[in-house]
Structure 1
Amino acid sequence: MNKKEMVNQTIAGFPGGKEAVAAVLGLSIDGFNNRLYEKKGQAFFSVDELEAMASLNNTPYVAEYFAEKSGYLVVAVPEVAELDSVELFDLQVKLNGVKGMLDKVLSESLADGVIDRTERQAIEKMKRHYLAVFTTSMNAIDAVYGEG
C-alpha cells in the first residue's frame, strides 16, 4: 500500500468524508488534498496527523503501512470482555476464509509455473493478512482459556 492508499483507506467510511476529516485536522479540503498529493509545496501529513486520522475511524491502516515498511505485522489485540465461544468461532471462520483466499492466490499464481512480481505482491499481501488473523485468533483463544 502506498501513502495515498493508506490515507484513503483510513478515512473511508468516516461520516462527512474527507471534508470532515480535513476539518478535524484544522485544514481546508484544498489544504488536505495538497498534503495528500504533496502539491503546492505541501509536505505529506505528519505522524501526529496520521495518528489522528486513524483514531477517528479506529482503523489499522496507518499502523499496517509503517509495519509493512519495517517488515513487521500488525495484530489486533482482542477485547477480553467481549470474547466468548461464539466470537472464537467467528474468528476461526474468518481465519478459514482468509486461508482459502491465500490458497486461491497461490493456486492462480502457480498456474503458469512462475510467480511474477505482481503475483508475489498479491501473495505477500494475503500472507500478511492471514498471519494477522491467525495471531489474533490465537491471542483470543489464549485470552479466553489461558490460565491468566
Structure 2
Amino acid sequence: MNKKEMVNKTILDITGGKEAVAAVLGMSVDSFNNHLYEKKGSRFFSVDELVEMADLMNTTYVAEYFAHRVGHLVVEVPNLAEFDSVDMFDCHLQLNAVKGMLDKTIEEAKADGVFDTEERKAIGQLKREYQAMFEAFMLKLDVLYAETR
C-alpha cells in the first residue's frame, strides 16, 4: 500500500469522510487534498497528523504502512491482566486451529498450480491472523512462566 492508499483506507469508514478528518486536523478539505496529493507546494501529512488520523479512526493502517517499509509486521498486543494456564491452553488450541486453516487453504490453493487473487487474499489474512496469534501466545507464555524477581 502506498501512502495515499494508507490515508484513504484510514478515513474510509469515518462518518463525514475527508471533511470530518480535515476539520479534526484544523484544515479545509482543499488543504487536506493538497496534502494528500502533494499539490500547490503542500507536503504530505506529518507523522503527527497521520497518528491523529489513526487514533481518530482507531485503525492500524498507519502502523502497518511504516512497519511494511522496514520489513516488519504489526500484531495486536494481547490483554495479559488476568491470565492463567487455562487461558494458555485455549490460546494454544486457537493457534493450532488457525495454523490448520492456513495449511488447508494453502494446499487447496496449490491444487491448480496458481494462487489467484482471492486465494492470495485468504492466505494473507490467515497468515496475519496466525502471526498475531503466535506473538500473543509467546507473550502469554512469557507472562505465565517468567521468573519472578
TM over 0.5: same fold?
Answer: yes
Alignment of 1:83-102 (within 5 A): 99=99, 102=102
Q: 1:75 corresponds to which residue?
A: 75
Query: SS at 1:40's partner residue?
Result: coil
Question: Hey, what does 2:132 align to over in structure 1?
Answer: 132
Deviation, structure 1 residue 39: 3.3
Q: Distance in 2 between matches of 1:82 and 1:13?
A: 33
SS of residue in 1 equivalent to 2:127: helix
In structure 2, give the amino acid aligned to 1:50.
L
TM-score by length of 1: 0.67
Q: Does 1:59 align with 2:59?
A: yes
Unaligned residue ranges in structure 2 (runs of 5+): none
1:13 aligns with 2:13: yes
C-alpha displacement of 1:85: 8.9
Cα contact 1:80–1:144 (8 A) shared by 2: no
Shift of 1:28: 1.0
**Offset of residue 33 of structure 1:** 2.0
Percent of aligned pairs with the same residue? 62
1:49 is aligned to 49
Q: What amino acid does structure 2 have at the position aligned with 1:19? A: E
Aligned pair count reads 148
Moved more, 80-89 or 37-46: 80-89
Q: Distance in 2 between matches of 1:144 and 1:116?
A: 41
Out of 113-122 and 4-13, give the one that drifted further: 113-122
- Structure 1's 33 and 87: CA in aligned 2 closer, same or farther, altered over 3 A? farther
Query: Shift in Å at residue 50 of structure 1?
Result: 0.8
Give the TM-score taking structure 2 as reference length: 0.67
**CA RMSD, Structure 1 to Structure 2 (Å):** 3.7
The 2-side partners of 1:31 and 1:111 are apart by 50
Q: Measure the CA separation in 2 of the matches of 1:73 and 1:101.
A: 20
Structure 1 pair 90/15, CA: closer, same or farther in 2 (3 Å)?
A: farther
CA shift in 2, pair 1:86/1:115, >3 Å? same
1:131 CA displacement: 0.8
Structure 1 residues 132 and 18, CA gap change in structure 2 (3 angstroms): same
CA shift in 2, pair 1:41/1:107, >3 Å: farther
- Return the alpha-carbon distance in structure 1 between the equivalents of residues 70 and 123 of structure 2: 18
CA separation in 1, counterparts of 2:87 and 2:29?
40
